[in-house]
Amino acid sequence: MKIEVERLAQMRHFFNILQISDKSVKITLNKPSKLLMKNIHTNWLKYNHVKADKHQMPVFLNYRSPNIAYVPSVYGVIKQDIQNYTKDMVLEMDLNTGNPLKKSMLRLDLFIPQEEAMQYLIQWQRYRKYWWSSISTTPSLFCVNDFNYQNNTAHVEIVAQFPNGHQTVESLSCETHPNHKYGQLSCTLCLENALLVLLLDGLSNSQKDEYLRLHRKIAPFKVSIALKLDKEKEMDNISLHKMATLLHYKLLSNNISTWLPDHSLPLDLQIKENCQMGVTYTGILEEETLKFGFLKLMSNSTKLTEQVHLKDFCKYASLKFRDK
């Protein structure tokens, strides 16, 4: 995995390399990395809530509330130990394994009737594998290892199958004891590892267009506002800059993560920058936008464009980029 980890660390939009040796690399996380981790975390919480609700299972944050009137037959506890990646917070990775030395751990513990423990383990390893496939652009990347039994505990792992090595992304274990009423099913993952695996998946799927193919559910930015400027029309350029800034803030106010590229660059380089960051769509403002009120919305994965009127754009974007 050494070559892959070095390649990830060199993604300048996502990381800054502080120090690299034969065994490890120290990096800091840029805004796109932090947003990507946040999106993975949020999607994990939402998915677990949906599946717990399907089983009519209450889920508590960090501990089971002592104030409830009864103890349900099945319930879950979410535990989160999250690293705070401030500007100076360093992430160190082992170059040979790709494993981070500091870890943000997400864990879901399910407390279930002992006689139903294995049934729940089988069901939840399917749920968890499906979740990984649902946030990846390569659903077939993930598989489930064979069950391993030791004493009163069954273990199984979800693995990302890369050509140059496999990477464990989540561990599940189910522990039962003859004298206990409840069995405990635990699903555990490392957020930094998830970030690196999904970025590596996106890099593996990139073509000559250099588009980092991240799933739209977790992409750090859903849309970017690019400008096609004419150096000879200074007043039009000023108007387009103001329009881009206004759209940027209107989209952000609708909870749509939006990126403004370097507008001093030619349009093709602005689009290239968007693609390298995994931005899903690029909205293009140009002279015709000022005349007729339409912008071009381009899919960065297919390069297909559609025209959207400015007055409808924020509403349209809210529908297009909402979670599905």
* pLDDT tens, residue by residue, 250-271: 999 999 999 999 999 999 999 9
CA distance 288 to 296: 10
3-state secondary structure of 304: coil
**Segments making up each domain of the chain, as ranges:** 2-204, 223-320
User: What would the two tokens of residue 210 be?
Assistant: 């250099």
**pLDDT number for residue 128:** 97
Least-confidence region, from 52-56, 184-188, 239-243: 52-56
In whole numbers, what is the pLDDT of the chain averaged over residues? 91
**Residue 226 to residue 281: CA distance in whole angstroms:** 10
Q: What is the average pLDDT across 111-124?
A: 92
Report, as an integer, the average pLDDT of 15-34: 94
Q: Note the pLDDT of residue 313.
A: 94
Both tokens assigned to 243: 């329009």
* Of 160, 12, 6, nearest in space to 98 by CA: 6
Name the architecture of domain 223-320: 3-Layer(aba) Sandwich (3.40)
Query: Which tokens belong to 225?
Result: 């506002």
Task: Examine the pLDDT at 3 and tell me if it is beyond 90.
Answer: no
CA-based nearest residue to 25, from 99, 83, 82: 99
Kindly state the helix (H) or strand (E) to which residue 187 belongs, with its residue range: strand 182-190
Global pTM reads: 0.92
What is the topology classification, in CATH, of domain 2-204?
Answer: BirA Bifunctional Protein; domain 2 (3.30.930)
Question: Mean of the pLDDT values across residues 37-59?
Answer: 93
Residues 136-187: pLDDT tens digits? 999 999 999 999 998 889 999 999 999 888 899 999 999 988 778 889 999 9
